[in-house]
Amino acid sequence: MHLVVLVAGVADAEDNMQIKKSTLWTIGVIILIVLTGYFVLSKGNSDSGNIVNPGDGASQNIVIGMKNGNYYPNTIKVEVGKSARISLDKSVVGCFRSFTIRDFGISKYLVGLDDYVEFTPTKKGTFRFACSMGMGTGTLIVE
């Protein structure tokens, strides 16, 4: 008779442990989702993104930030036949740092603030730039 009570007590303890493990997993998943959302969709306060074009044939320098969950500015203009250098400021996080312009064969993960992509646009037109996952997008206008 004592054996039955002991076994039932162990079974109850195991059921309670299962509930605690599932609750812990649920909390862990919620925290992971919140943190991922924060890093991917964090809003940058950078108003950079202006083209610095010295006008002496030097590279066109563009700094892109992140604002409202997308690249900012998400439309940039460069001149055809003139070297362009695009870098990302510190507000850009996550997969948005993996910068691509497929029409020009550009695909690079920009590690730090000193990292950039440099290319010379050879044709006029409107082209898409994006992160590697396509979550952040923008338009490159070559005039």
Give CA–CA dist 11/5, Å, rounded.
Answer: 10
E strands within the chain?
51-52, 60-67, 70-72, 75-78, 84-88, 98-101, 106-109, 116-119, 125-131, 137-142
pLDDT score for 46: 38
Q: What integer pLDDT is reported at residue 112 of this predicted model?
A: 87
Q: Which two tokens stand for residue 71?
A: 């690249």
Q: Which tokens in the block code for residue 80?
A: 């055809």
Residues with Cβ within 8 Å of 64's Cβ and at least 6 positions away in sequence, in order, are 48, 49, 71, 72, 73, 76, 86, 87, 88, 89, 92, 138
Model confidence pLDDT, tens digit, residues 84-140: 999 999 999 999 999 999 999 999 999 988 999 999 999 999 999 999 999 999 999
Domain boundaries, given as residue ranges, for the chain: 1-41, 51-142
The CA distance from 63 to 27, in Å, is 38
Question: Using CA atoms, how far apart are residues 50 and 127, in angstroms rounded to an integer?
Answer: 18
What CATH number has the domain spanning 51-142?
2.60.40.420
pLDDT tens figures, 37-57? 665 554 443 333 444 444 455
If one counts every other C-beta atom within 10 angstroms of the C-beta of residue 67, the result is 19
Centroid of chain to Cα 88: 11
Supply the pTM of this predicted model.
0.60
Q: Residues 85, 61: contact at Cβ < 8 Å?
A: yes
Compute the 3-state secondary structure of the chain and give helix, strand, coil in percent, each to the nearest 5.
35, 35, 35
